[in-house]
Amino acid sequence: MEIKLMKNILGANDELAALNRKHFAECGVVVMNLMGSPGSGKTTLLEKTLARLADKIKIAVIEGDLFTAKDAERIERAGIDVIQINTAGGCHLDAAMIQKACASLDLNSLDLLIVENVGNLVCPAEFDIGENFKAVVLSITEGDDKPLKYPLIFKESAAAVLNKIDLLPFTNFDLQSARTDLTTLHPTIKIFETSCTRGTGLDEWTQWLLERTVR
């Protein structure tokens, strides 16, 4: 029973996601679904990304959060159009929430729409929102075992950002083993090593994002 119900929910979501995807293509906007645990540094990475790309392409952000608008306020300070979705405890964004949020955006004027999903390594990867690609942020402090423990999110993501790389000497995170696991799960995944406090790897990451946006 339970399994069947979940299939129906995902089926309905997939239909809406397909509509979103069609709409995004018609408007000529590329959409990235940015995922990762709470505290992995998604919003900080986003701030650094926006600072590097805002004068090159037109970007808007959708912020998914359980209750607050704290992240959206941070993005707004960067002068970027931002729509806040509060899931009221819901642990992921779905296609219907994105469709509704997009009604307040002028998609035709945008090159890139970044959706910061709710902090969670599990179900955000299960719910297609109609994005062009997904990216996952994994911070060094979370441990190198996470790719194998939460394989779906890494299989689904075009890029994995290993963030807070400056903290590597203070942890037992095995970078080589994490890289091997990521590539075993997803042979074509693009891996970035970043530190938002030091500025490490941000040029490579934003260049990759720019190349995927301007087509």
Positions in the binding site for Zn ion (CB under 5 A): 91-92, 123
Angle at the Cα of 62 (from 183 to 139), degrees rounded to 5? 35
127 or 186: CB nearest Mg ion: 127
Angle at the Cα of 32 (from 30 to 33), degrees rounded to 5? 145
138 or 185: CB nearest Mg ion: 138
What SS3 class is residue 103? coil
Binding partner of residue 43 among Zn ion, Mg ion, none, CB under 5 to 8 Å per kind? Mg ion
**Nearest approach, Cβ of residue 154 and Zn ion (Å):** 17
Binding partner of residue 42 among Zn ion, Mg ion, none, CB under 5 to 8 Å per kind? Mg ion
Residues near Mg ion (CB under 5 A):
42-43, 71
Q: How many CA atoms lie within 13 A of 65 on its CB side?
A: 17
Quote the tokens at residue 150: 């939460």
Asked if residues 147 and 138 have their Cβ atoms less than 8 Å apart, the reply is yes
**Nearest approach, Cβ of residue 40 and Mg ion (Å):** 8
Q: Which residue's CB comes closest to Mg ion?
A: 43
10 or 78: CB nearest Mg ion: 78
127 or 205: CB nearest Zn ion: 127
Residues 6+ apart with CB under 8 A from 164: 41, 139, 140, 141, 195, 196, 197
Binding partner of residue 91 among Zn ion, Mg ion, none, CB under 5 to 8 Å per kind? Zn ion
Binding partner of residue 142 among Mg ion, Zn ion, none, CB under 5 to 8 Å per kind? none
Q: Which residues pair with 192 in a beta bridge?
A: 161
**Nearest approach, Cβ of residue 42 and Zn ion (Å):** 16
